[in-house]
Structure 1
Amino acid sequence: MTYEMAHRALPDLWATLAGADAVHGLYYLLMHGVFALWDGGPVALRLPSVLATAGAAAGVAALGRELAGPRAGLAAGVLFPLLPAVQRYAQEGRSYALVTALVVTQTWLLLRACTERAGRRRRTWWAGYVLLTVLSGLLHEFALLALPAHGIALPVSRAPRAVARAWGRAACGAAATVTPLVLLSLRQSEQVAWISVSLAGDIAGFLLPAAVGVAAAAVVRRGCAAPAPGPRLHTWALPLLVVPPALLLLASAVRPLYVDRYVLYSQAGLALLVGAALDRVSRPARARRALVPVLVAAAVPALWPVGTQLRDPHSRTDDAWAVGRAVAQASRPGDAVLFVPASRRVWTLSREPASYGAVDLALAASPRAGHTLYGTELPAPGIRSRMLRVSRIVVVHDPARDRREADGRERTKKATLRAHFTPCGERTVGAARIVVYERGSRC
């Protein structure tokens, strides 16, 4: 989706965002500029995320150094890009790595504003904090969930009331600036209708890192013989780890919205806590000498399979390049291609059926021509009429989205296939099920 949207002309992109996907509008605009400078295909698509992850790792190291010392900062900065979720989105052509880098940097700026004496430099830190909060919110509005984490960290770390009041003004100003985008995206909420929250998957995926973070925080606190002056790491890192995903899960009780990548920046809190805990337990020289080889011996076999699997194309449930190739291989010149549901047309935007002689059967207007994400389809009777005029249809099906995006068009597609066509071949590529149907009762 990013690749296709970023290649649209600016007037077309603007017209599309007015009706859909406004939440990613700034990111598409940024990537439009990247491709204008260098149209490097998948490499150019993913390079900003790689660079942002490197910047976020440096920011995590700077935060750890500021809060717990240079060794804790180094451990946290090294650990952060090794976390599986961070590894995954470091290579995705989406905004999540960029948002993470901005949230980590704005957290560092807030910390500097809290510890700086009143004057011009403090005002500079506050201005930078507001600017980056607005930018991260415009890249993805759920970046604003970092604000409650910061709001909790300030009193817990015993920040002066003047600092808390200044933060309140900065947070309100930044949130007010992003509010128009939030209101616009609420009118486009049908785009997240596919989200469902799983007890076994999503909630467990939140509780496990939270439990590790709480345990690491306990190790860090036990290592402190007496309360240290100024901010302490666990009072900042634990809210960043727990609060944003917890708030998104609570909101999902009203409307399912929780997806872990929406709050990827919370992983910075986990890296900070575990890095500080490792620093704490390795303080004695003898323990430090023993700890390093043990950690290396444990980390390499644990992380190598994860890192290798994440870099394999089969790890992507939405590998559009692979789906597009598979659809092209299943199609013959003159065949019809049908998407069930229509939103799965996104899988072939980089290689449209017309490019290999097939016909997009239900399409009335292309995504660019209609200023939509997935194209405009014919009314149900028109789709049925076209289906009955062809002898072979390649159906690109996504069972996971089928139930959530069912409407009259989708029901007509399936009913016509059942009544007049026979499935003659099937292939699964990630989340896509590609089925070849032939007219009549036999293949």
Structure 2
Amino acid sequence: MAVSPALDSAGVAPRARPAPPAPATRRTGRAGRAAAGLVPAGLALALGLWGIRRENSMWRDESTTYQVAHRSVADIWRLLGGADAVHGLYYLLMHGVFALWDGGLVALRLPSVLAMAAAAAGVGLLGQRLAGPRAGLAAGLVFPLAPAVQRYAQEGRSYALVCAAVVAATHLLLSAVARPRKRTWAGYAAVTSLACLLHEFAILAVAAHGVALYRARAGARCGWAWGQAASVVAVVLAPLVIVSQQQAALVGWISPPGPPELLGFGALALAGLVCARGPLPAHGPVPLRDLALALLILPPAALLAVSYLHPLYVDRYVLYAYVGLALLIGARLDALSRTVAAPRALAGGLAVAAVAALLPYSLHLRTPQSRLDDPLAAARAVRELSRPGDGVLFLPARRREPIMSRPEDFRGLRELALARHAIPSGTLHGIELPAPLIRARMLTAGRIVTVNDPPGQPLDGTPQERVKRKVLAEHFHRCTVRDVTGMRIVLYGRAGAC
């Protein structure tokens, strides 16, 4: 009997080959993948450019970036030998930015805006690789909405650039696991080294990658390759660690973790763990759950633990932990949308509610009051209260940010305590005279404008600071007081000179 054409020679119907996707389906898939990167980048860019000048304000850390980046390369290098080596690469990058375009506050913050937009795009594409286009789009949109991400997207510091580098390194890690090649692992080592040179605590992201590979059972070959790459990063980072340890006094202001730090970390970790419960899509070479939880929990937890012995924990140092949280929230939203009735209406309602809840904080972030202080406002106050020939003092000396960022507002005033300026001395704030010389100079002045810490701050006990306070109390009257964000400007005068 003849064999039916629908059966093979063994009498079994052959497995039908799936029909190739229609062109429209392929176009939709490509559009979904593109949207997972482009839409989050657009949102992050819009949020970053919104109010980028922050009402012409700049807080002390940004002031340091601004004035150091305007030094010559040789002067920056001399400074790094004694202070702020951990930010050295960032200062050099910003020096290049200002050399190309000295655009003031916009130029100061634009690299961070662009870096956070790139990070948001990268988060969306990470989600797309690990859980599909919808999860990627959701993760990419969640990331730039996070309050901390909005904050540091508009700061002239390195944290947004570190986020972007960590996200890029994570993509290279996934590529290296999916298709192991020496050049991919070399690229991973190079990008993670860049992240660590921008800020040394990015090394904790490398550790999180290793934990994710272990949890994913990626195999001995991948583990060995990751170990080699991590060793290269450690060797590159070692000189910076040695120098920065010699400058540890600069972070002496950091306190051991207290309830606010623990509650902040605990809330984020709990949110991530809740999102990680239950089934999540797993499309990539490393499960999204393993990678995201490692990035979210390990870096801040490790830094918190170390900080009980040597206080170092500040949440912005491990800002990239929000990458893990965004991935988990995006994947969970995608999973919920597949099981809940009317998913589009629900997703739209949740999005509107989230934006409405964040709007007051987002508005506050774009005001001077959202930061610790405002040296530019202090400089304006000094200009308004002083007149040519007046003396000027900074109490304490580290309050020199206003004159270093806006020297034109101090034109015509006499610095009564300064021995050597910051640039020739290779320091952040300059070097002051011995206490007896400060006293002698102060007694030659008829009026003195002082830039002070806000009320309630501890008083520095150095001989210079003590003599400033003593001479002002014994020989001068307080004429005018003006409070600005994070500082107090006081005009003192001799009897009848106010």
Matching of residues 56-135 of structure 1 within 5 Å: 56-116=119-179, 118=180, 122-135=181-194
Supply the distance in 2 between the matched residues of 1:98 and 1:327 (Cα, whole angstroms): 34
Could you tell me the TM-score, scaled by structure 1's length?
0.93
Match of 1:435 in 2: 490
Instruction: Note the C-alpha offset of 1:441.
Output: 10
- SS for the counterpart of 1:337 is strand
Aligned to 1:278: 333
Q: Give the letter for the 1:22 counterpart.
A: A
CA offset at residue 229 of structure 1? 8.2
Corresponding position of 1:199: 258
Kept in 2: contact 1:422–1:441 (CA 8 A): no
Q: Is the 8 A contact 1:426 1:436 kept in 2?
A: yes
Are residues 1:357 and 2:412 paired? yes
Report if aligned partners of 2:255, 2:311 keep a CA contact under 8 Å in 1. yes
Pair 1:374-2:437 in alignment: no
Change (3 A) 1:400 1:126: farther
Which residue number corresponds to residue 389 of structure 1?
A: 444
Return the letter of the residue paired with 1:25.
G
| Residues 1:214 and 2:273 are matched in the alignment | yes
Who is 2:344 aligned against? 289
Partners of 2:117 and 2:197 in 1: CA distance: 21
Bigger drift between 122-131 and 314-323 goes to 314-323
* Paired residue type of 2:87: H
How many Å apart are 1:135 and its aligned residue? 0.7
**Match of residue 140 from structure 1:** 199
SS of structure 2 residue aligned to 1:318: coil
The residue identity in structure 1 corresponding to 2:229 is A
1:223 and 2:279 are equivalent in the alignment: yes
1:246 alignment partner, SS class = helix
Residues 86 and 386 of structure 1: CA distance in aligned 2, closer, same or farther (over 3 Å)? same
Q: TM-score, normalised by structure 2?
A: 0.83
Whole-Å Cα distance in 2 between the matches of residues 403 and 127 of structure 1?
49
Q: What is the CA deviation profile of residues 292-341 of structure 1, one whole-angstrom value per residue up to 9, with x for unaligned ones?
A: 22113302211211111111122222322222212222222222221122
Q: Deviations over 1:160-205 (max 9, x none)?
A: 1111111111101111111101101111112112222452432222
Separation in structure 2 between the aligned mates of residue 201 and residue 439 of structure 1, nearest angstrom: 46
Find the residue that maps to 1:19 and give its secondary structure.
coil
- The structural deviation recorded for 1:224 is 4.7
Q: Give the counterpart of 1:155 among 214, 223, 227.
A: 214
Give secondary structure in 2 for the equivalent of 1:257: coil
Q: Distance in 2 between matches of 1:71 and 1:404?
A: 55
Alpha-carbon separation, structure 2, partners of 1:145 and 1:412: 45
Query: What is the CA–CA distance in structure 1 between the aligned matches of 2:251 and 2:324, rounded to whole Å?
Result: 27
Distance in 1 (CA, whole Å) between partners of 2:83 and 2:284 is 49
Task: State how far apart, in whole Å, the 2-side matches of 1:246 and 1:281 are.
Answer: 29
Contact 1:324 1:348 in 2 (8 A): yes
Q: How does 1:234-245 map to 2 (within 5 A)?
A: 234-245=289-300
- The 2-side partners of 1:194 and 1:418 are apart by 28
Match of 1:410 in 2: 465
CA contact (8 A) 2:174 2:285 kept: no
Q: Is the 8 A contact 1:353 1:360 kept in 2?
A: no
User: Identity over the aligned pairs, expressed in percent?
Assistant: 54
SS in 2 for 1:368: helix
> Which amino acid in the other structure matches residue 491 of structure 2?
V
Instruction: Write the letter of the residue equivalent to 1:16.
Output: L
Q: Pairwise CA RMSD of aligned residues?
A: 2.2
Task: Please state if 1:314 is matched with 2:369.
Answer: yes
Aligned to 2:11: none
**Of 165, 183, 188, the match for 2:247:** 188
The alignment partner of 1:286 has SS state of coil
What code does the residue aligned with 1:338 have?
Answer: L
Q: Are the equivalent residues in 2 in contact too, given 1:130–1:173 (CA < 8 A)?
A: yes
3-state SS, counterpart of residue 349 of structure 1: helix
CA gap of 1:420–1:204, structure 2 versus 1, over 3 A, is farther
